[in-house]
């Protein structure tokens, strides 16, 4: 990951589910969580999204926005959000510009073939727009709870 804790969060503006647009400018002065996942409606990505959805009341109490980001089309994201009743925004980054800026576009390997893809990772940005915490190579189990604990630690 090229991004480091303490860095200024890279600028972004992306279309998101529910007719929303998510951007660094609109989140100014508020902490937020960006989590990057490979593909909507796959087993790991579904578990992760549902875990963030389950934690949403706690994130909301702390006035923290959770945003999921992938290269999926808006149509795929809307379908995914509806299927699992996901209330938080899922943003579409088909060109992987934001994904790359946040260090989640990585070389991966499957069956000996190398390719570029999204590494499951999460970034917590504080109210000052600085990277407060990074989670590269995320394991889904317990991750949303770990992110919530980091948000609570921001105070």
Residues 6+ apart with CB under 8 A from 60: none
Burial of 117 (0-12, 13-18, 19+ CB in 10 A): middle
Q: Which of 22, 45, 64, 138 is catalytic?
A: 45
| 24 neighbors 13 (Cβ within 8 angstroms) | yes
Q: d(Cα 75, Cα 83) in Å, to the nearest integer?
A: 12
Note if 50 is an active site residue. Answer: no
| 102 neighbors 36 (Cβ within 8 angstroms) | yes
Tokens found for residue 151: 């948000």
Catalytic residue IDs: 45
């Amino acid at each position: 990951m090229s991004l480091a804790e303490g860095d200024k969060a890279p600028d972004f503006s992306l279309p998101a589910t529910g007719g929303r647009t998510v951007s660094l400018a609109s989140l100014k002065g508020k902490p937020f969580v960006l989590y990057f996942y490979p593909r909507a409606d796959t087993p790991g990505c579904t578990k992760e999204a549902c875990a963030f959805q389950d934690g949403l009341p706690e994130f909301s109490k702390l006035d923290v926005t959770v945003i999921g980001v992938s290269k999926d089309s808006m149509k795929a994201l809307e379908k995914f959000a509806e299927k699992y009743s996901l209330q938080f925004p899922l943003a579409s980054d088909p060109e992987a510009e934001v994904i790359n800026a946040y260090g989640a576009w990585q070389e991966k390997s499957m069956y000996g073939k190398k390719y570029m893809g999204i590494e499951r990772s999460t970034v917590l940005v504080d109210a000052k727009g600085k990277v407060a915490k990074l989670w590269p190579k995320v394991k889904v189990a317990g991750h949303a709870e770990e992110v919530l604990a980091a948000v609570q630690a921001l105070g």
